[in-house]
């Protein structure tokens, strides 16, 4: 699927606008961690649920799916954070990712008639998100949106300041080198450092997602890591 | 996607309808929030609402009714379940209670007639 280019600034603006709208609608709601499933369910009022997507769609590594015309989001039941607490970070990111598709990409689908199933059953999903998917622009945009939504810049800086007493960055090269040597990390992947894991607990995201965000904000400095989000 | 199995369809629809009305003004009624308050997993609640699973236990249905502010007996009936307290009541006076229910059924007692019987019983209890 081809989509128009969106700058990171524009995607961040869309994520922060959504957060502000949610806060206006539910002023007493807590925003740390960002209640992304409540945003999708109660604010956007999408039909949000869990299903055995792997079985139903026949896709082995599916995480979530979105039916634009039906306003429906389904997350694979293997990510249910109540049944599988270790998956909570991945669950939040997947919901935020689907939310990103809804906010950024629904205009590409809503004008068109729903595509019915070949067998007369339910319509096929508009978007199926898989863990092994190569990051096409449409998926990169949804990932970027998810990162900005779950880890807003101001909140990340505020938590960092509170934990460390300043906004000085953490120089992680030494810790990364030590972890890489100890755990024989695969080529090209970067182990998650302790400060990122600690912050991830607060934002309820994976350590890896937190580290990428901290790196993009200049709070973690590594010598060999490439920033994904600017 | 394969066709879904119907399982007490009306119960699932009713819960979803009631919860969706509440969630518009209170995020505690999100799928995850409501599931947590009831004591079930969001996956199970999602399956129940989408008619892909049997309804929850009577105790959980009573809890749902309390949270949603609706009649527990109505929800239990839609789910094809009974209030466990009723079973206990019948067990305490098995013959009399069973006779009462059978008689009411045999004579085709209307809801109004049953209401009058209950009012009479309550008046008698107040006098005693």
The 10s digit of each residue's pLDDT in A183-226 is 776 666 788 999 999 999 999 999 999 999 999 999 999 865 44
- The whole-number average pLDDT for the span A122-126 is 81
C-alpha closest to that of A143 among A48, A208, A67: A208
Q: For position B5, what pLDDT does the model report?
A: 53
Short-list A206, A211, A64, CA closest to A133: A64
What is each CA distance from B28 to B16, B31, B32, in whole angstroms?
14, 9, 8
* Chain pair A-B, CB pairs under 8 angstroms: 63
pTM of the model: 0.85
Task: Answer yes or no: do A109 and A214 share one domain.
Answer: no
Q: What is the reported pLDDT for A223?
A: 65
Residues A184 and A146 in one domain: no
- Do residue A62 and residue A73 come from a single domain? yes
* Residue A183 maps to a domain: yes
A121 interaction partners in chain B (CB closer than 8 Å): 1-3
Together in a domain, A145 and A158: no
User: What is the rounded distance in angstroms from the CA atom of residue A164 to the CA atom of residue A159?
Assistant: 8
Closest Cβ opposite residue B43 in set A77, A121, A122: A77
Domain spans, chain B: 9-83, 93-127
- On whether any CB of chain B is under 8 Å from the CB of A70, the answer is no
What the block records as the tokens of A77 is 């039941």
Interface probe with A: pick from B6, B20, B27, most Cβ of A within 10 Å? B27
Residue from the list A26, A50, A121 with its beta carbon closest to the beta carbon of B42: A50
Q: Is residue A230 part of a domain?
A: no
How many distinct structural domains can be found in chain A? 2
Range of the domain at A200: 153-221
Q: Chain B within 8 Å of A60 (Cβ-Cβ)?
A: no
Binary contact (B27, A35; C-beta < 8 A)? yes
Question: With contact defined as beta carbons under 8 Å apart, do A34 and A19 qualify?
Answer: yes
Q: Tell me whether residues B3 and A121 touch, CB distance under 8 A.
A: yes
Note which residues in 81-110 of chain A have CB less than 8 A from chain B.
Answer: 81-83
- Asked if residue A162 and residue A56 are part of one domain, the reply reads no
Does residue A226 fall inside a structural domain?
Answer: no
Residue A131 near residue A61, CB atoms below 8 Å: yes
pLDDT at site A132: 78
- What single DSSP character describes residue A168? P
Do residue A121 and residue B1 have CB atoms under 8 angstroms apart? yes
Residue A114 is assigned to a structural domain of this protein: yes
Residue B110 in this model has a pLDDT that exceeds 90: yes
A228 in any annotated domain: no
The fold of B9-83 is 434 Repressor (Amino-terminal Domain) (1.10.260)
Name the residue among B1, B24, B29 with its Cβ closest to that of A56. B1
Contact yes or no for B54/B8 (Cβ under 8 A): yes
Asked if residue A62 and residue A145 are part of one domain, the reply reads yes
pLDDT digits (tens, 9 = 90+) for A35-54: 999 999 999 999 999 999 99
A140 and A34, same structural domain?
yes
pLDDT in tens, B2-58: 445 555 779 999 999 999 999 999 999 999 999 999 999 999 999 999 989 999 999
A74 lies in some domain: yes
Residue A118 shares a structural domain with residue A181: no
pLDDT band at B94 (very low <50, low <70, confident <90, very high): confident
Task: Report the share of chain A in percent with pLDDT over 70.
Answer: 89
Handedness of CA A103, A227, A31, A20 (dihedral sign): negative
3-state SS, B56-85, equals CCHHHHHHHHHHHCCCHHHHHHHHCCCCHH
Give me the CATH number covering residue A115: 1.10.10
For residue A1, being part of any structural domain is answered with: no
A117: chain B residues, CB-CB within 8 Å: 1
CB-based burial label for A124 (10 Å; 0-12, 13-18, 19+): middle
B1: pLDDT confidence band, cut at 50, 70 and 90? very low
Residues A27 and A92 in one domain: yes
pLDDT at B9: 78
Question: Where does the pLDDT of residue A127 fall: very low under 50, low under 70, confident under 90, or very high at 90 and above?
Answer: confident
Closest partner residue to A38 among B2, B30, B47, by Cβ? B30
Tell whether A46 and A140 lie within a shared domain.
yes
Predicted confidence at residue B123, as pLDDT, reads 87
Does A178 lie in the same domain as A127? no
Yes or no, beta carbons of B46 and A50 under 8 Å apart:
yes
Last residue of a domain, one of A150, A165, A194: A150
Query: Which chain A positions have a beta carbon within 8 Å of B42's beta carbon?
Result: 49-50, 80-82
pLDDT of A119 higher than 50: no
Burial of A135 (0-12, 13-18, 19+ CB in 10 A): exposed
- Please give the ipTM for the structure prediction: 0.83
CA closest to A77 among chain B residues = B43
Residues A188 and A123 in one domain: no
Instruction: Compute φ and ψ for A51, nearest 5 degrees.
Output: -155, 165
């Amino acid at each position: 699927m081809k989509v128009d280019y969106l700058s990171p600034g524009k995607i961040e603006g869309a994520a922060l606008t959504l957060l502000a709208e949610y806060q206006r609608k539910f002023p007493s709601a807590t925003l740390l961690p960002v209640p992304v499933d409540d945003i999708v369910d109660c604010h956007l009022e999408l039909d949000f649920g869990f299903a055995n997507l792997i079985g139903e769609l026949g896709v082995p590594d599916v995480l979530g799916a979105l039916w634009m015309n039906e306003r429906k989001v389904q997350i694979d039941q293997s990510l249910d954070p109540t049944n599988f607490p270790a998956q909570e970070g991945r669950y939040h990111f997947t919901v935020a990712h689907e939310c990103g598709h809804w906010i950024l990409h629904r205009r590409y689908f809503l004008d068109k008639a729903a595509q019915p199933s070949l067998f007369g059953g339910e319509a096929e999903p508009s978007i199926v998100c898989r863990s092994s998917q190569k990051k096409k622009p449409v998926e990169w945009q949804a990932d970027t949106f998810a990162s900005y939504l779950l880890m807003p810049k101001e909140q990340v800086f505020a938590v960092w300041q509170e934990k460390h007493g300043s906004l000085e960055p953490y120089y992680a090269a030494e810790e990364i080198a030590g972890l890489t040597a100890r755990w024989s990390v695969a080529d090209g992947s970067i182990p998650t450092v302790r400060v990122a894991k600690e912050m991830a607990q607060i934002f309820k995201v994976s350590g890896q997602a937190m580290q990428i965000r901290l790196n993009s904000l200049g709070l973690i400095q590594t010598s060999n890591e490439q920033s994904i989000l600017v | 996607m394969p066709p879904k199995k119907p399982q007490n369809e009306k119960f699932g629809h009713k819960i979803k309808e009631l919860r969706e009305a509440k969630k518009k003004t209170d995020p505690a009624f999100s799928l995850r929030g409501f599931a947590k308050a009831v004591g079930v997993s969001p996956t199970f609640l999602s399956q129940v609402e989408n008619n892909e699973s049997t309804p929850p236990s009577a105790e959980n249905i009573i809890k749902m009714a309390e949270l949603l502010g609706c009649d527990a007996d109505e929800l239990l009936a839609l789910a094809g379940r009974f209030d466990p307290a009723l079973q206990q009541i019948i067990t305490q006076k098995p013959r009399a209670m069973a006779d009462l229910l059978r008689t009411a059924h045999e004579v085709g007692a209307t809801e109004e007639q049953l209401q009058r019987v209950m009012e009479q019983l309550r008046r008698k209890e107040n006098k005693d």
